Structure 1
Amino acid sequence: MIRFSRALPLALIAVVPLLLTGCGAEQAGPAQAAASPKTEASHSKTEVSRELGARARALGIAPELVYVTEAPGFTLAQQSVGVFGADGFSATYVSRQGGRQIRLSVDRGSLSDAGCDDMAQPACERDGELQDAWYRAAEEGQQVYLLPKDGLVVRLAADTGVPREVLRKAARDAHRPTENEEVTDLLPPAQENEDQPGSPSSPTTPVERGDLPSTGDGAPRNDANAGG
């Protein structure tokens, strides 16, 4: 009887590792499933970055200088999107009522380059509601918000007819495009080069005219017809 009572716990001990192994296998499934959304999000960001880069470079804009914003009652004027300075970005948002405008522009530089720094001019002031933002009431009825972004300066400019809180909202919401919808609404599609798919198209060659003679000064022929 003593030998039998000692053997029983040994059998139970042999079974326990098998039970623990089974539990571990069941817990691995949810952990693997949890990693899937991160992979999809990373893939989505890559697609946005690739599309943004192609469209921006086709316009001569550095992709890292492209920003987008929102302002109550204002919509993007897509025809206004273009280059600011050498390779900066510019876009104008127009009021649906009254035609007031807010211009968003991004360029390389600092607050000092833009006219506001720690030794601010009297016209420049820090905005207490926006971190590291400066507000400047410029001449000729213009007002500007300036936001430094890692070697860049984001500007939100409007005339004084635009309420300051609306301009502040546009400055607060200025951000890099993070979704394909933002990219497609902001930038026109890049035309692909037929010889190198995925690259911007090269300038088209001039169309050859049939009325230019091969000799002489090259002026077009204006020969009269038989009845002329």
Structure 2
Amino acid sequence: MPSKRRSRAASACPLITVAALATVSLVGCATNAPGADAADPGAIAERANVVGIAPDLVYTTEVDGYELQAQSVGPSAGAGISGTWFNYSTGTMLTIRTDRGEYTAAACEATPLWDASDLAVTCTEEEDGIWHRQGGAIHEYVAVRDEALILVTGMHNAPRDDLRTAARAVHVPSEAELQLLFSDLPTEAPQPVERGDLPENGDGAPVDPVGPGG
């Protein structure tokens, strides 16, 4: 009988160990899951659709020392979004603009710089999905995320390192970031204005009475 007890106890230990490891593994997966902090797609669509921005083109970024200027956020080219971050210590600015498309070396070189369309562009993919664009002393970055292209530009002598950091940090906003991103934009689509001085039938154009001369 004692041998049977030892056998049952011994067989129980591996089960407990496996269960404990499984629990640890599950906790680790939940903590490290990609995009775990991203806002719900439905919440993004609800805010973006109101102002004509495609939900899949809603991105944000973060760079130490820079603060998002909510009043700068709005629709960009096509159905993208644009927004500007300002550094109150240095006076420099970073702007992101999103769009769709495929990005290759040829496409990069054929696209003019945002602030200097007359300069020849040289392109380097510094790392997977992060492109550096340069024309003269002007630098830009493009981050490729799925089918979205996020252009990062600077103003007031924004350092190249800040542009690169912004490009690397591009991501789908969290719930809190989404609220800040759209905080200065309308929450409902504008309704058509109804005029009370127009007749129900016809276009309401004035009718000039016919005079004696016809």
State the TM-score bracket (shorter-chain normalisation): 0.5 to 0.7
**Residues 74-117 of structure 1: CA distance to partner in whole angstroms, max 9, x if unpaired?**
21111222222221221111232565432101211224434369
Q: CA deviation at 1:127?
A: 6.5
| Secondary structure of residue in 1 paired with 2:177 | helix
| Secondary structure of residue in 1 paired with 2:40 | helix
Query: What is the percentage of aligned positions where both structures have the same residue?
Result: 21
Q: Does 1:180 align with 2:178?
A: no
Query: Retained in 1: the 8 A contact 2:109–2:121?
Result: no
Match of 1:88 among 58, 77, 80: 80
Query: Retained in 2: the 8 A contact 1:84–1:90?
Result: yes
Match of 1:79 among 71, 90, 95: 71
Amino acid at match of 1:95: N
User: In terms of Rg, which structure is larger?
Assistant: 1
**Residues 41-89 of structure 1: CA distance to partner in whole angstroms, max 9, x if unpaired?**
8796575333223222333222222221123432111122222222122
Q: CA RMSD in A?
A: 3.8
Counterpart position of 2:140: 144
Counterpart position of 1:204: 191
Segments of structure 2 that go 5 or more residues without pairing to the other structure are: 112-118, 207-214
CA distance in 1, matches of 2:135, 2:8: 74
How many residue pairs match? The answer is 191
Segments of structure 1 that go 5 or more residues without pairing to the other structure are: 1-10, 192-200, 220-228
Q: CA deviation at 1:31?
A: 4.7
| Secondary structure of residue in 2 paired with 1:162 | coil
Q: 1:116 to 1:70 in 2, by over 3 A?
A: farther
Match of 1:62 among 54, 58, 82: 54
Q: TM-score, normalised by structure 1?
A: 0.63
Counterpart position of 1:153: 149
Query: Retained in 2: the 8 A contact 1:116–1:124?
Result: no
Q: TM-score, normalised by structure 2?
A: 0.66
Q: 1:45 to 1:159 in 2, by over 3 A?
A: closer
Counterpart position of 1:108: 100
| Secondary structure of residue in 1 paired with 2:63 | coil
The higher relative CO (CA closer than 8 Å, separation ≥ 6) is in: 2
Q: Does 1:164 align with 2:184?
A: no
Query: Retained in 2: the 8 A contact 1:88–1:105?
Result: yes
